[in-house]
Amino acid sequence: MRPLTVHHLNEILLIGAAVLLVAVVAVRLASRSGLPTLLIYLGIGVAIGQDGLFGFTFDDVQLTQVLGYAALVVILAEGGLGTKWHEIKPVLPAASVLSTFGLLMSVFITAGAGHYLVGLGWRQALIIGAVVSSTDAAAVFSVLRNVSLPKRVTGVLEAESGFNDAPVVILVAAFSTARPVEHWYTLLGEIALELAIGAAIGIAVGWIGAYGLKRVALPASGLYPIAVMAIAVAAYAAGAMVHGSGFLAVYIASLVLGNAKLPHRPATRGFAEGLGWIAQIGLFVLLGLLVTPHELGDDILPAIIIGLFLTLVARPASVVASLVPFRVPWREQALLSWAGLRGAVPIVLATIPVVAGVPDSKRIFNIVFVLVIIYTLVQGPTLPWVARSLKLADGDETDADDLGIESAPLERLQGHLLSVAIPKGSRMHGVEVNELRLPSGAGVTLVVRGGTSFVPLPTTVLRHGDELLVVTTDPVRDAAEARLRAVGRGGKLAGWLAEPEGRHARTD
């Protein structure tokens, strides 16, 4: 292997920058056409690959698996940071059952189809069933940004996609090992133990990280996003090193961090979202490079059959069976059944049997690749239509909980500077500054409106698009933010109406 020189580095940087720019433009085109960005990124990889325009040969499956795991860590961290605890808390039991019992049910039903309808051996069928039965976090988070669904459905999908990667990785690794699984209860016990260890480490690392970041004023705001992502990655590594579920650890740690009222929270979310996009683009392009299109012909029909059985039988059956104790309306069950989106995760997991040397592992990879492409193309663009047909789309709903409040600690002054953005639809519009009724020790010091800043009077009327700078002391910081959110939802009469102010005080 030739040593890497500056000339090679220049070529790599040029190609990498070009691919990223094309991918960024593709996001815009995909948002207009409804075409999933996954397919565009995979298409870029295929176009660069050996059957494409450039004929670049890449066949390092083990490197793809390693980089794929790294990308999934970033994607799960970004998803956890953006998940609102108050939305998933009511549906946490349902999502937990769906991501464990429902997942196992889907695995075995899909494996039966692979064995009896396609003629795969039981080992290969079980691997495919495990690989394709989990919902993909990147695909779900991406779609939920563009489709307004009831909060219960959104919460279940977000929590399920964040939780089910962990048991799936354990299952695929167990089915791919040279040592066969002797007793099913032993396997279930190992899964339960790894999940418990991962959850404990995720909670511990997330809590310790949030506790430290809220009490240490870093010298630059740009250090907070880096610290948050480092803590999330540390949770994954710690969980994996002690034989727990690293994927569950990183998601739970990120969930704790994302709901902990950390300083510079919007900046952290933006940074994590940018890293998530880079991880998705790099991962999908890499997977597109790995595949050899001319070898896929014989596996198209098996992929369609297995995918059809998964989409119309296994996924609906697992949803219905898992949600029986929770009395979920049938419309929501139907939408959850159709919203079991697949993406990069199944393709990455399909590299595990290839690296392990499982017989027919190349065929497993090809079937999974074709299945993901076809059913992503079918399910992703049609999800908004299905939601509207089931009368579950909340297109006109505005959530005043999204009032943008960014906090910067003022360590020496023992206070905080809150930056409050008033979005369209907020009931803070038309409220006078003195009608905010902030607690003693907090006050609006500056208003930025239309590019012009001014010091407000008590009678200054706030408008949509205003940005407020609120200075508050440490003891009343939480009360000030709670009051601002209450006014954002209830207007100037928040706290006087029958609905308790605490309900309006939820944070993102």
Percent of the chain predicted with pLDDT > 70? 85
- Residue 302 corresponds to which tokens in the numbers above? 């098996």
64-102 confidence digits (pLDDT tens): 888 888 988 998 898 888 888 888 888 889 999 998 899
Determine the longest span between alpha carbons in the chain, in angstroms: 77
The answer to which of 296-305, 346-355, 416-425, 494-503 has the lowest mean pLDDT is 494-503
Buried b (16+ CB within 10 A) or exposed e, 146-181: ebbbbbbbbbbbbbbbbbbbbbbbbbbebbbeeeee
- Residue 24 corresponds to which tokens in the numbers above? 């960024």
Average pLDDT rounded to a whole number, residues 235-251 = 92
Q: Is 222 exposed, middle or buried (0-12, 13-18, 19+ CB in 10 A)?
A: exposed
- Output the pLDDT for position 257: 93
- Residue 501 corresponds to which tokens in the numbers above? 């102010």
Q: Which long-range contacts (CB under 8 A, 24 or more apart) does 174-179 make?
A: 175/123, 175/126, 175/127, 175/130, 175/353, 176/127, 176/352, 176/353, 176/356, 176/358, 177/356, 178/356
Distance, in Å, from the CA atom of 229 to the CA atom of 257, rounded to the nearest integer, reads: 10
- Output the pLDDT for position 402: 56
Distance, in Å, from the CA atom of 88 to the CA atom of 433, rounded to the nearest integer, reads: 34
Which residue type occupies 311?
T
Task: With CA atoms as reference, report the closest residue to 108 among 353, 309, 362, 383.
Answer: 309
Percent of the chain predicted with pLDDT > 90? 23
Average pLDDT rounded to a whole number, residues 51-69 = 80
Distance, in Å, from the CA atom of 65 to the CA atom of 290, rounded to the nearest integer, reads: 11
Distance, in Å, from the CA atom of 267 to the CA atom of 251, rounded to the nearest integer, reads: 19
> How is residue 49 annotated by DSSP?
B
442-461 confidence digits (pLDDT tens): 899 899 988 888 999 988 99
Local structure of 432: helix, strand or coil: strand
Task: With CA atoms as reference, report the closest residue to 142 among 75, 92, 45, 84.
Answer: 75
Mean of pLDDT over the chain: 83
Distance, in Å, from the CA atom of 453 to the CA atom of 470, rounded to the nearest integer, reads: 13
Average pLDDT rounded to a whole number, residues 53-70 = 81
Q: Is 267 exposed, middle or buried (0-12, 13-18, 19+ CB in 10 A)?
A: middle
In terms of pLDDT, which residue wins out, 137 or 280?
A: 280
Average pLDDT rounded to a whole number, residues 210-216 = 86
In terms of pLDDT, which residue wins out, 145 or 439?
A: 439
Q: Can you give the pTM of this predicted structure?
A: 0.76
Distance, in Å, from the CA atom of 289 to the CA atom of 229, rounded to the nearest integer, reads: 28
315-370 confidence digits (pLDDT tens): 999 999 999 998 888 998 998 898 877 777 888 888 899 888 888 888 999 999 89
Query: Which residues, listed in sequence order, are joined to residue 294 by a DSSP beta bridge?
Result: none
- Output the pLDDT for position 221: 75
Task: Grade residue 29 by pLDDT with cuts at 50, 70 and 90.
Answer: low
Average pLDDT rounded to a whole number, residues 478-491 = 86
251-278 confidence digits (pLDDT tens): 999 999 998 888 877 788 888 888 888 8
Instruction: Identify the structural domains of the chain with CATH numbers, from first to last.
Output: 34-389 (1.20.1530.20), 400-504 (3.30.70.1450)
Task: Grade residue 234 by pLDDT with cuts at 50, 70 and 90.
Answer: very high
Query: Which residues, listed in sequence order, are joined to residue 286 by a DSSP beta bridge?
Result: none
Does residue 506 carry a pLDDT above 50? no
Task: Grade residue 502 by pLDDT with cuts at 50, 70 and 90.
Answer: very low
Sheet order of strands, 404-410 included? 404-410, 415-421, 467-473, 442-449, 452-454
